Amino acid sequence: MFKELFRGRFKGHPIHVMFVHFPIGLFSAGFCIDLAAFWIDETHLPFVSFYCMAGGVAGAIAAITFGLIDYIKLAENEQLFKKAGKHAVLQLTSVVLFGTVFGLKISEFPVVSDPTIVMLVVEAIAFSVMIAGNFIGGDLVYSDGVGTKEI
């Protein structure tokens, strides 16, 4: 079983693809909730966003770990390696930006304040970059078969 995990698979299925949905969903929810918290005076929204961001960072660490395993396996195919590199750079940039906002939020914990304009702008950029990276990642899976067949 451990040998399979070190190859980025669990019971024959790609682990990276299993984990990516968590940071995508949690970062997206955190951003949307921060937008709502900026406009609506609801004291619980900043806390919900904080925990979404925390989960997004944790999920991203897992996704990045297994994505790196998949990326290394693509080294022999220059075209796919370059495309996967673009995907990785975009997703890592997004995680760093969302992580920065989370870092600002955790610096005040247990108090969680409403998001600032700067936080929302950084989150909007991170969200846009994440969507672009998701598109390339989806193309790698659905068009190129990365993770679904031996390349």
Tokens matching residue 145: 């078969």
Contact 70, 84 (CB under 8 A): yes
Q: How many CB atoms lie within 10 A of CB 46?
A: 20
What span, in angstroms and rounded, lies between the C-alpha atoms of 124 and 97? 10
pTM as predicted: 0.90
pLDDT at 8: 64
Radius of gyration of the chain (CA): 17
Give 97-136 pLDDT, tens digit per residue. Answer: 999 999 999 988 888 889 999 999 999 999 999 999 999 9
Contacts of 79 (CB under 8 A, 6+ apart): none
pLDDT at 151: 55
